[in-house]
Amino acid sequence: MVNPIMGDGKRGQEMGTLAKHNRGQSLVEFALVIPILMLVMVGLFEFSRALMTKNVMTNATREGARVQAVGGDGFTAAKNVLDSAGIPVNPVVNPAALPYGDVTAVVIYNFPLSVPFYRTGTIRLESRTTMRQEF
């Protein structure tokens, strides 16, 4: 007599046999998926680095324009912010031509991509800030 709850006892044996035949399937699937996963991760890291660099550049132009607008040396202020982040570029700070005119600070940087096993290139990042001179 077959127990309806336990079955005839052969089901467990069949599952064990199937598991033996499918053992390498997971390894093959992982080998196919891992290059795509690594590509997505490297892209995410590079995008994050570029976004951080763009944020530092924006802060540098804001600082340079603000210091120049109140009568200080905007170039030095912007350069200090860029140097603190290790961005090797010189900002351009244009003073106002007229009293209460516009002060503009610009930073342009060719961001180097660091992708392993691929030719590296650059992405052009630019940040520009304009403020009104206060004297």
pLDDT at residue 115, as a whole number: 78
pLDDT at 15 over 90: no
What number is the average pLDDT over the span 123-135? 94
What number is the average pLDDT over the span 31-59? 94
Q: What are the residues whose beta carbons fall under 8 Å from the beta carbon of 68, sequence distance 6 or more?
A: 74, 75, 77, 93, 95, 103, 105, 131, 133
pLDDT at residue 24, as a whole number: 83
Ranges 24-28, 93-97, 116-120: which has the least confidence: 116-120
Provide the token pair at 81.
């912010």
